[in-house]
Amino acid sequence: MNKTEFIAAVADKAGITKSDAQKTVKAVLDVITETLQGGDKVVLTGFGSFEVREAKERWGVNPRTKEKVLIPATKRPAFSAGAELKKAVKGE
């Protein structure tokens, strides 16, 4: 499901227009992004949590030259599924 299909499904499920669904989805994604940028975690109980995780500095290999290169430490967004989402996916 892509973003357009997701917005259409939200509109159908909530009984709202696609325009309103698009605004709602954009607002939710903006709030999650801004919260993570601020260094905080977003917890949606039962569904899951979004957080920023630190990826440590590590060594890699350039596939073209086979030369070892140092990959710097960085921050990555991460999602952990909640118990209710895990059960739903399993069909429980």
What is the identity of the amino acid at 18?
A: K
Cα–Cα distance for residue pair 45/47, rounded to 1 Å:
6
pLDDT in tens, 43-72: 999 999 999 999 999 999 999 999 999 999
Average pLDDT over every residue of 1-27: 98
Instruction: 41-46: list long-range contacts, CB under 8 Å, 24+ apart.
Output: 44/82, 45/82, 46/82, 46/83, 46/84, 46/85
Domain definitions of the chain by residue range: 3-90
CA angle, 36 then 32 then 50, to 5°? 65
* Reported pTM: 0.82
Looking at the predicted structure, is the pLDDT value of residue 6 above 90?
yes
Query: In the beta sheet, which residues pair with residue 60?
Result: 69
Sheet holding 42-44, edge to edge: 42-44, 48-55, 74-81
CA distances from 30 to 13, 33, 34, 73 (A): 21, 5, 6, 25
pLDDT in tens, 23-46: 999 999 999 999 999 999 999 999
What is the fold of 3-90?
HU Protein; Chain A (4.10.520)
Looking at the predicted structure, is the pLDDT value of residue 92 above 90?
no
